């Protein structure tokens, strides 16, 4: 008995990747940031909290070069590392 496969005529529709999936850095645009982060991990015995500023710099590099979606660093867990500047509020007259 043979099995016939019936392929529908629907065409494949590309969709953007799920959150967390992003293009590889084929041209090594952020390789220096990645290496500094990995070096920090090696030096700190894989203690990632000691390397958070380098992780933040790496993610900023990726966002600037469109290698991942732009996200506020606060949403990525770096709120405590960001120097929050008070916004100038207009004075009431």
**How do residues 13-52 score in pLDDT, each as one tens digit?**
767 666 656 678 889 999 999 999 999 999 999 888 999 9
List the alpha helices (DSSP H) in the chain: 31-43, 52-64
- Quickly tell me which residue has 């207009």 as its tokens: 90
Average pLDDT over residues 2-19: 64
- pLDDT band at residue 5, thresholds of 50, 70 and 90? low
Task: Tell me whether residue 16 is in a domain.
Answer: no
Task: Tell me whether residue 17 is in a domain.
Answer: no
Task: Tell me whether residue 25 is in a domain.
Answer: no
Quick one: CA dihedral 50, 82, 36, 30, positive or negative? positive
Task: Tell me whether residue 72 is in a domain.
Answer: yes
Task: Tell me whether residue 20 is in a domain.
Answer: no
65 or 92: which leads in pLDDT? 65
Q: Is the pLDDT of residue 3 over 90?
A: no
In terms of Cβ atoms closer than 10 Å to its own Cβ (0-12, 13-18, 19+), residue 87 is exposed
Task: Tell me whether residue 35 is in a domain.
Answer: yes
Which residues contact residue 13 at a Cβ distance below 8 angstroms, ignoring those fewer than 6 apart?
none
Task: Tell me whether residue 46 is in a domain.
Answer: yes
Per the structure, the complete domain to which residue 72 belongs is given by 30-83
Q: What's the pLDDT score for residue 52?
A: 94
Tally of domains within the chain:
1
pTM: 0.65
Task: Tell me whether residue 92 is in a domain.
Answer: no
């Amino acid at each position: 008995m043979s099995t016939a496969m019936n392929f529908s005529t629907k065409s494949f529709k590309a969709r953007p990747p799920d959150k967390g999936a992003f293009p590889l850095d084929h041209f090594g645009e952020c390789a220096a940031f990645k290496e500094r982060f990995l070096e920090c991990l090696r030096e700190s015995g894989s203690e990632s909290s000691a390397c958070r500023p380098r992780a933040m710099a790496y993610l900023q590099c990726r966002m600037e070069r469109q290698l991942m979606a732009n996200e506020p660093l606060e949403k990525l867990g770096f709120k405590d590392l960001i120097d929050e500047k008070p916004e100038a509020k207009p004075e009431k007259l």
